[in-house]
Structure 1
Amino acid sequence: MADGGEQYEASASALGYLFQFATALHLCIEQWMNAGPDWSIAVEAADDIEQHVGSMTDLLQLKQRAVGVRLTNTSKDLWKTLRIWAEAAAAGRIDLNNTNLYLLTTAELPEGSVGCLLQHRVTRNRDEGLALTLLCDAAKASKTTSTELRKSFAALTGLAKPQQTALLARIQVVGGTGDISDVRTSMLRLAAVAAGHSAAQSFLQRLEGWFYDRVIEQMRTPGGSPVTGVEFDEFFTGLQRQFHYDNLPIDRDIVGMSGDLGEQADKVFVQQLGLIGVGSTRIGYAVRDYVRAFAQRSRWLNESLLRAGEIGEYERRLVEEWESRFALMEEELGPEATEEKMKAEARLIYRWVDTEARFQIRDGCDEVFVTKGSYHMLADERRVGWHPDFAARLMQLLEPAEAHG
C-alpha cells in the first residue's frame, strides 16, 4: 500500500495531466471561435502542449501549484522549464525564429523577479536583459545539492550568449493563471455560447469525452497526429447541431451498446415477439434497440435535455400510429381467423415498426433506434402489442410468474 507521500505525488501527477488536457481543450475552443482552421494542438509532444498556428509554433509548459506559491528566481518550475527549452534550442529541435515559448503557472510572480520580467511583451516592465542577468546570478550563487537543478543551471549557462538572448526573447511567463477548476468554468461559459446555458454542462461533457479520447490516442502512438482545426471544427459543429432546438444528442457509447438477449429474455417485449414467431436474430436486434433507446432517453431525462411532457407527447404519437394499424388488422382478420393467420398479420405490424416506422422525437433527431426502441418500451408496458390477442396471451404467460415472484 502506498504511503501518504506517494499517494499525494500520484494524485498531483494525475491532476497535472487533467490540467493539460483541459487547457489544451480550452485552447482548441478559443481557436475555433477566433481563428480559421489552419491550426493544430498536441499534448505531451514537443512540450506539455504544442500548438501550431499557420507557420508559428507555440510550446506551452503548465504548472499548477497551491494557492500562495511564488515563482522565484530559483524555483524548480522555472529552471526545469528553462532546461527543457535550452536543451531543445541547443540540439536544434526548436526554431527560435518561429517558436513562442510560454510558461503558464498558477503561482504568483514576485515584483522584479525573472518571471515578472518575462511577462507578455505588452507589459511595461518586460526586461529580457535583466532577466538573463538575474538567472545567471542565481545559478552562480546557488548552493543547491540537487543534481537536477544543477543540470538546469548548466543547460542555460552553457548556451552561447547570443543563444541565451534569443531564447529569452521567445519566452513569455504568465503567472496567476486559473487552475483546472477555473479552466473548466471558463469552458462552461464558452459551451453556453455554443449550446445555450441549460445544455452547457451536457455539451461540455460530450466535448471533453471526445477530446480526451482523441488526445489519449495521439499520446499512445509514437508521433501521433495532433488534433487539427479541421477535425475539431467537424466534431464541434456536429455536436452543436445535436443541441439545436429541433434536435437531441445521440451518444457514441450508447450507439455502441448491443444488449444481451439472455439478460432480457424475461422482458415483456421479448415475450411479445415470441408470441408471433419472430426469429432469435431479429429478437436480438430488438433487444439492442430497446437497450439503446432506454439508455439514451434516460440520459436525456437525467440531464434535463427534454422539455416538460415531451416524452409523453412522443409516446402518444407512437401509440396512436400503432392503434390505427392494429385496429385495421383486427377488422381484416375477423373472429374466425386461425392462429397462423393471426401470427402472419401480427408479423406485418411488427415489420412496419422494424422497417418503416420512423417517428422522430424532434425533427432533427433521426436516429432509428429511438423510434424502434421506444416501441419496444411501450410493448414492455403492454401499451402496444403485435398479436391480435396479445393482452390475454401475455396475461396467461406472465401471471403465473408474477404470482410466484
Structure 2
Amino acid sequence: MTGYLYQCELALLELARHSWHDADIEVRMELLDDIEFLDPQETTPRELLQSKHREAAGPLSETGKDFWRSIASWIDALKVLSGTPGTSTPLLRLVSTQIAPESTFLHQLRSGADRDISKALVRMEEVAKDEDGPDTTAKDRALYLKLTPAQRHQLVSAITVNDGAPVMSDLDSKLAKELGITPSDHAQAALDEIKGWWYGMAVRLLERKNPQRMLPSVSAQQLMCRRDEVTDRYAGKNLPITETLRNLTQAEIAGYTDRLVVTQMRWVGLPDSEVAMHLRDYHHARAQRSEWLRTFKITPERLEEYEGELHYEWETTFRRRTRRVRDEMDEEDRQAIGQDILDDTMDRVADTPPRPGSATAPWVAKGSIHGLSDQADTAGPDRALGWHPDYDRLCRRRNETQEQ
C-alpha cells in the first residue's frame, strides 16, 4: 500500500520539479508506465518512470525484480510506441529508494560522469544469461535477451537510474521545497491542502470506466495555479483585475436580449437602465473569470466552490424574503419581493472573494451570481437561482414555450 501511495506522491513531486523549467509539461499515471511525462504538442511521452519504494535501506540488486520488471514494462511500452509515426525513444527512469552499488551496471546507468552504457550492456547481458539467476525475474530477463543488439542498445541508452530517492516519510519536505512553500506557521496546512487536491486529481487520472470522471493528464500549470491559490490565501494576496469596467454598448446589450439572465430581471420588472447596469457586471465578470482560467490564476475546482458560496448567500436571502409570499398575492407585489431578493443578494455577495483571504472588485461576485441565474433552467438544485419568487415555475414555462 505504501508503494502505491508513494507512486502517487512521487508523481506530484516530479511534476513540481518539472514545473520550474517547463510549465506546459503534463503528467499521467498507469497507462504506459507508473508515471509518464508528456509534452501536449508531442504524440509520444517524453519520459516513462518506474517508481520503486523500499522502506529498508539497502543495495539495489542487479538480479532483483525492481530492475528487471521495469525492463519488461519498458519493452512493452516501446512496442506500443513503435506503432506511432515520428516516435522517439522517451527517457526511461527507474526511481528507487535503494542505492546502486558502485560495482554494478545499475551504478553505470546513473546520470553523471560515471555513466557508461557500453559496460552496462556487457554486464546486463551476463546477468540476463545467468542460469542461476532468480526464478522471479527469469521471464523478464528472457524478454530482454530476445531483443536484437541494436534494440538493447537503444533501450539501455534511454535508461537512467535515480537511486537514493527519498522514502515516503521524507517526501513532504522535498515537496514543500519544490513547490516553493517557505517555512511558516501555515506551511504544513498549505502543503496538506495541495496534497488533498492532488489525490483527487490522481483518482481521476486512474479512472477507466466513467468518461465523465476521467482525466487524461494534469499539467504543471494546473499544479502551480493550485499552489498559488492555497499559498496566496494564507498570505492574503489578491487575484489580479485585468478587466476595465465600462458601460456596455447598445449592441452588446442587444446580444443578451434572449438570454435567461435578462429574462430573470424582466420577470421582476427591472427597468432598462438597471438591466444594463447588471449586464455590465455580468459581462465583465465572465471575461475576468475566463482570463483567470486561461492564465492559470484560478482552477475550475475553486470557481465551482466559489459558485457554491454565492448560491448559499442567495438562498439565505430568498428564503427570508419569500416567507411572506401568499397564493393570493398579486404579480406586482411578487415582483417587488423579487427586486428585494435581487438587491439584497447583490449586497450580500459583493464582498465574497473568489479566493478566501483575498479581496476583489464587487462586480466580480455580482456578475458571477448573474451567471448562475443565466443557467437556472439547466443547473441542478445546488446551482439554480432566480429573483422572482416563482422563478422555477417561470423557467419551466419558458422552456416549454421554447420547445413548442
The TM-score normalised by the length of structure 1 is 0.57
1:86 and 1:159 in contact (8 A); partners too = no
Asked whether the equivalents of residues 7 and 51 of structure 2 are also in contact (C-alpha less than 8 Å), the reply is yes
3-state SS of paired residue (1:220): coil
SS at match of 2:61: coil
Instruction: Kindly state the Cα deviation for residue 17 of structure 1 after the two structures are TM-superposed.
Output: 1.8
Match of 1:60 among 46, 49, 55: 49
Q: 1:26, 1:145 → 2: CA distance? A: 33
Alpha-carbon deviation of 1:145? 6.2
Residue in 1 aligned with 2:116? 127
**Which of 57, 65, 70 does residue 81 from structure 1 map onto?**
70
Name 2:36's counterpart in structure 1.
Answer: 50
Amino acid paired to 2:70: T
Query: Aligned residue for 2:192?
Result: 205
Alignment RMSD (CA, Å):
4.1
Do residues 104 (structure 1) and 95 (structure 2) align? yes
Q: Distance in 1 between matches of 2:21 and 2:234?
A: 21
**1:130-145 alignment runs, 5 A limit:** 130-144=119-133
Q: What amino acid sits opposite 1:364 in the alignment? A: A
Say which SS state the counterpart of residue 221 (structure 1) adopts. coil
How many angstroms does 1:102 deviate by?
0.3
Report the alpha carbon displacement of residue 140 of structure 1 after superposing the two structures with TM.
2.2
Q: CA deviation at 1:119?
A: 0.5
Kindly indicate whether residue 204 of structure 2 is the aligned counterpart of residue 217 of structure 1: yes
SS in 2 for 1:69: coil
Give a deviation string over 1:146-205, Cα, whole Å, max 9, x none. 2x51110111111001100111000000111101222211112344x3576332222222
Q: 3-state DSSP class of the match of 2:161? A: strand
Alignment of 1:311-322 (within 5 A): none
Residues 181 and 254 (structure 1), Cα distance of their counterparts in 2 relative to 1, 3 Å cut = farther
Amino acid at match of 2:78: A
> Structure 1 residue 280: deviation in Å?
10
The aligned residue for residue 228 of structure 1 is 219
How far is 1:66 from its partner?
2.6
Of 257, 267, 279, 2:323 maps to 279
CA contact 1:107–1:177 (8 Å) conserved in 2 = yes
Count of residues paired in the alignment:
277
Residues 291-370 of structure 1 correspond to what in structure 2 (within 5 A)?
Answer: 355-357=346-348, 358=350, 364=359
Which position in structure 1 is the counterpart of 2:5?
18
CA pair 353-61 structure 1, distance change in 2 beyond 3 A: same
How far residue 108 of structure 1 moved from its aligned partner, in angstroms, is 1.2
Task: Structure 1 unaligned segments of length 5 or more: list them.
Answer: 1-13, 259-269, 282-347, 369-405
Asked whether the 8 Å contact 1:103–1:173 carries over to 2, the reply is yes
State the shift of 1:98 in Å. 3.7
Q: CA deviation at 1:111?
A: 1.3
Distance 1:280 1:163, change over 3 A: farther
CA distance in 2, matches of 1:359, 1:160: 68
Give the counterpart of 2:173 among 170, 177, 185. 185
Name the SS of the counterpart of 2:359 in structure 1.
coil
Identity of paired residues, percent?
20
CA–CA distance in 1 between the matches of 2:14 and 2:88?
A: 22
Please point out which of 171, 192, 198 is paired with 2:159: 171
CA distance in structure 1 between the aligned counterparts of 2:185 and 2:238, rounded to whole angstroms: 14
CA distance in 1: counterparts of 2:83 and 2:172, whole angstroms = 31
Supply the distance in 2 between the matched residues of 1:253 and 1:142 (Cα, whole angstroms): 60
**Deviations, residues 119-160 of structure 1 (Å, cap 9, x unaligned):** 01xx222222221222221222242562x5111011111100
Q: Which has the larger radius of gyration?
A: 1
For 2:76 and 2:307, the matched residues in 1 are separated by 47
Question: Does the 8 Å CA contact 2:50/2:93 hold for their aligned counterparts?
Answer: yes
How far does residue 44 in structure 1 lie from its aligned partner after superposition? Answer: 1.4
Q: 2:20 aligns with which of 25, 33, 36?
A: 33
After TM superposition, list the pairs within 5 Å mapping 1:377-396 onto structure 2.
none
Alpha carbons of 1:190 and 1:143: their partners in 2 closer, same or farther (altered >3 Å)? closer
* TM-score normalized with structure 2 length: 0.57
